[in-house]
Amino acid sequence: MRRRILKLSILISVAAAAIIVGSIAISQEKLAEKKDDLYRNINLFSDGFAIIKNDYVEEVDSKELVYGALRGMLASLDPHSQFMDPDMYNELKVDTTGEFGGLGIEITIKDGLLTVVTPIEGTPAWREGIRARDRIVKIDGELTRDITLLEAVKKLRGRPGSSVSITVLREGEDRLLEFKIVREIIKIKAIKDARILEGGIGYVRLIEFRQNTSEEFRRAIQKLKSQGMDALILDLRNNPGGLLDAAVKVTESFLEKGKLIVSTRGRKGNQNMEFSSKSRKPDLDLPLVILVNHGSASGSEIVAAALQDYKRAIILGTQTFGKGVVQTVFPLSDGSAIRLTTNKYFSPTGRVIHGQGVTPDIIVEEGKIELTEQKEESIADIFQGLEESEGRQEQAREIPEKYLTDNQLMRAVDVLKAIKIFKAKKAD
């Protein structure tokens, strides 16, 4: 009996070993096939390169041929992956300094067209009326068909005081719009405005996530709290994003420690990352409304999506842009570089941001409220509820007209008022 069991065990072991050997053989065979396929395609490229070098009507520089091949290779992947020659790579590095000569717009390639993500508030493009989702079809009279992102940046930037003409295709317009914009030094300040609007409702307008944004945001919140803030509107409209770390730090201001804020996933395991909250003293009970629109992208979508997933904030406005991919820059030996899409962003619940955007909890289209003059009151009306009336007038004087006419902002104020009233009634 023991001999039979021993014999059976040996047979099973032999069979298992055969399966393992077979699996290894299959894996090696597939690997060999992949290598053969790679070598065949490299040989194909090499043959094409040699034919162009030898038989093209004019002599061609080898480096230019390689650059052209790399441009085509990267462009075939997605609108954000690009090959950058040394000049373009230097342009990209200028962009990270926070100060440059240009128009003040964030752009991308969407559906094959050069598209405005958002104009930066207070810049020449903003003042001239450029809007999020405008399609730039011409720059200085030249069509932007097949233009790369960095080529567009190079054309739009220039000496401060010089001008550039752009032709825009705008949804809802039956004609092309022409703009002539004078370039300026663009100085980016993350916090555009921070104030108490009324009744303890604070307002912070955050226009971009840069290196010192989280510290500026923390100081702004502390200052508003010292002025009696007990609810907050965080305005991320036309915020094109910026640094991932800065967006994560702003988000963690409102979440318990250890909460997942955003994850990035790529093809390789080492490209998958998770970013969680680390704040020691977050504001967990501060009523919060976040304003977003079509110009809210990337980092601002990360903030909105995370706080929406945790039901920590009410998102109000219109659908966001939907840019949720990470590009990694790989410098090359001659000063050029490859900008390659390596990851996608995912919200805490696993929602894909790229191409989808964030849908607000309360959809409110952009528009202006028309302020009407108050009608003359009778003596009885004046004396009736005089104290209450004086309070309202004082409140109105505190809020500048530009806020009173902003319908999205005023809806956010109403939402926070309702929350505060509900909490007060519940406490009673």
Report residue 205: phi and psi, to 5°.
-105, 115
Residues 6+ apart with CB under 8 A from 192: 121, 122, 205, 206, 207
CA dihedral 61, 62, 67, 68 (to 10 degrees): 70
* Spatial CA neighbour of 232 closest among 292, 285, 280, 190: 285
CA distance 322 to 217: 24
* Spatial CA neighbour of 107 closest among 148, 74, 145: 148
List the catalytic residues: 298, 309, 323
Inter-helix orientation angle 244-251/213-226, to 10°: 20
Report yes or no: 165 and 180 within 8 Å, Cβ to Cβ: yes
User: What per-residue string of b and e applies to 95-114 under the rule 16 or more CB within 10 Å gives b?
Assistant: eeebebbbbbbbbbbbeebb
CA distances to 69, 81, 332 from 73, in Å: 6, 9, 15
CA distances to 3, 8, 11, 22 from 17, in Å: 21, 14, 10, 8
Q: Which amino acid is at 225?
A: K
CA distances to 69, 143, 253, 420 from 174, in Å: 39, 19, 45, 45
3-state helix, strand, coil in the chain (%, to 5): 40, 25, 35
* Spatial CA neighbour of 207 closest among 221, 195, 217, 219: 217
CA distance 105 to 124: 9
* Spatial CA neighbour of 185 closest among 152, 208, 162, 168: 162
Q: What is the DSSP letter of 344?
A: E
The phi-psi region of residue 42 (left if phi > 0; otherwise alpha if psi is between -120 and 50; otherwise beta) is: alpha
Report yes or no: 273 and 264 within 8 Å, Cβ to Cβ: yes
